Amino acid sequence: MVSWNDGETSDSSISLPSYESEPYIPRITVDPEWCGIVSGGLICSHKTPVERGVAFQSTHTGRRFFGCSEQGGYSCGLVEWVDPEWPEPLKNALRKLWNMYEQTQEQIKVKEDVIALLEEEKRLMQAKQKSVQESAADQVAPDANEIKTDLEKENMSLKGEVELLKKIQASQAELISKWRKDAHVDEVNQQKKRLEFAISDLFKDGEANKSKLKRIKAICDE
């Protein structure tokens, strides 16, 4: 339960989390502009100040939140979202990006398993080379070199996929940032238009009042 610390906090206003179900704790990404403990404000179920965080998980990616700051013990998880849910078009984009990310992660895991298997086969092959005759060792050596070359190629491929993941994350952060800026610009433009309409109405009212004063003056002059 969320509570605001106003100097006096009663035990009845805070309920501790249930230990029967796991609390929701989103994965986070580092954001220097939104991090650290919030002192003198929102508190969690432990009656301790909350910690700022930025979610890095599925359609919540980029949303700021307040979470439990408990370290090394039981965390009560997410306390309160700061940003509302993203618009549906942005959610769809995030879903596609995360599907690409998860598929790439699975591919990397499979390739890592293959590389580990090849490394084990290489180790066994090298051990076998020590126990066979010199002529047999000369025949096996080229195979070992070929495996080594294949492993080096696999490592280069994995490095390229890691770079791709970094680019996906950067594009995702740029998309969220642009959406925030565009939303702010639209709001400013709407306020400007409302102000221009109000000024126009004032001018119209002023001209009408001037016309009435002239007619009244003409009647008085007669």
Between 15 and 173, name the one with better pLDDT: 173
Instruction: Please determine, for residue 116, whether its predicted confidence score (pLDDT) is greater than 50.
Output: yes
Mean pLDDT over 135-149 rounds to: 66
Q: What pLDDT score does 64 carry?
A: 93
Tokens of 26: 């989103």
Q: What pLDDT score does 7 carry?
A: 37
**What is the helix, strand, coil percentage profile of the chain, to 5?**
60, 10, 30
> How do residues 52-71 score in pLDDT, each as one tens digit?
999 998 899 999 999 888 87
Q: What pLDDT score does 14 carry?
A: 31
Q: What pLDDT score does 11 carry?
A: 35
pTM score > 0.85 for this model? no
The domain limits of the chain are 1-85, 88-190
Reported as a pLDDT band with limits 50, 70 and 90, residue 3 is very low
